């Protein structure tokens, strides 16, 4: 099955208008590191919830996704809220380079995206390419820290849910592996911390890293 059809099929099964998981927590983290006037790329923008928050904060936002269905929903929602001249939302090829200029963004935001990426090396290469020298990568991804791994070790049901054969999470990260990955791809000042619910609840990693200068 072509990648485009796969991603469209996933979105057809998701009801429209569902709030992004941990939206308030992730939006707060994102907006702490974005100022008005910054050029921000929202990678995997889905239905545009974070792109809309960035636009309200005065950022110049471009949202990209590999499926047309969430972008159509985002445009409909944006028109209802803001009218004409809304968000800049673009469909990209899941398996090719992004149709965006080099060094064209101050910030790249990828919320709950990297765990879905098959070719992480190619994906991070595109992130680096579109970020300006000294720009920031901000991302979130589920945390598979000690308590999560312990729960998986003790519960066959938890393992089955986390590693479901039809699941769309392809990668699983802990703080150390995410730090090492970003460092390997030329990012420095890498800061990754856990956030979210209490022990036993869903946790996520919030990462901030600076693109190395040319």
Question: What is the torsional sign of CA 170, 49, 69, 38?
Answer: negative
Q: What is the pLDDT of residue 51?
A: 97
Q: What is the pLDDT of residue 156?
A: 55
**Domain residue ranges in the chain:** 3-211
Cα separation of 177 and 32, whole Å?
24
Alpha-carbon distance values, 161 to 63, 117, 157, 165, 195 (Å): 30, 19, 6, 9, 21
Digit-coded pLDDT (tens) for 141-188:
999 665 554 555 445 565 455 455 455 567 879 999 999 999 999 999
Report residues of the chain scoring pLDDT below 50. 149, 153-154, 159, 162, 165
Q: What is the pLDDT of residue 94?
A: 86
Query: Which CATH number among 3.40.50.150, 3.40.50.2300, 2.40.50.140, 3.10.20.600 corresponds to the domain 3-211?
Result: 3.40.50.150
The DSSP letter of residue 34 is -
Look at residues 165, 154, 169, 160 and name the one whose alpha carbon lies nearest to residue 200: 154
């Amino acid at each position: 099955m072509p990648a485009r059809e796969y991603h469209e099929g996933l979105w057809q099964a998701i009801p429209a208008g569902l709030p992004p998981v941990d939206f308030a927590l992730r939006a707060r983290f994102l907006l702490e590191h974005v100022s008005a006037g910054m050029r921000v790329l929202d990678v995997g923008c889905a239905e545009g919830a974070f792109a809309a928050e960035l636009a309200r904060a005065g950022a110049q936002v471009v949202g990209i996704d590999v499926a047309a269905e969430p972008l159509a929903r985002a445009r409909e929602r944006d028109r209802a809220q803001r009218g004409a001249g809304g968000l800049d939302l673009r469909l990209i090829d899941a398996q090719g380079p992004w149709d965006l200029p080099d060094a064209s963004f101050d910030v790249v935001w990828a919320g709950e995206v990297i765990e879905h990426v098959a070719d992480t090396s190619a994906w991070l290469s595109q992130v680096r390419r579109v970020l300006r020298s000294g720009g920031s990568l901000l991302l979130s991804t589920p945390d598979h820290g000690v308590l999560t791994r312990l729960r998986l070790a003790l519960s066959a049901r938890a393992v089955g849910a986390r590693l479901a054969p039809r699941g769309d999470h392809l990668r699983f990260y802990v703080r150390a592996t995410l730090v090492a990955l970003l460092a390997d791809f030329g990012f420095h000042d890498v800061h990754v911390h856990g956030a979210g619910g209490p022990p036993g609840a869903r946790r996520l990693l919030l990462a901030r890293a600076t693109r190395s200068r040319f």
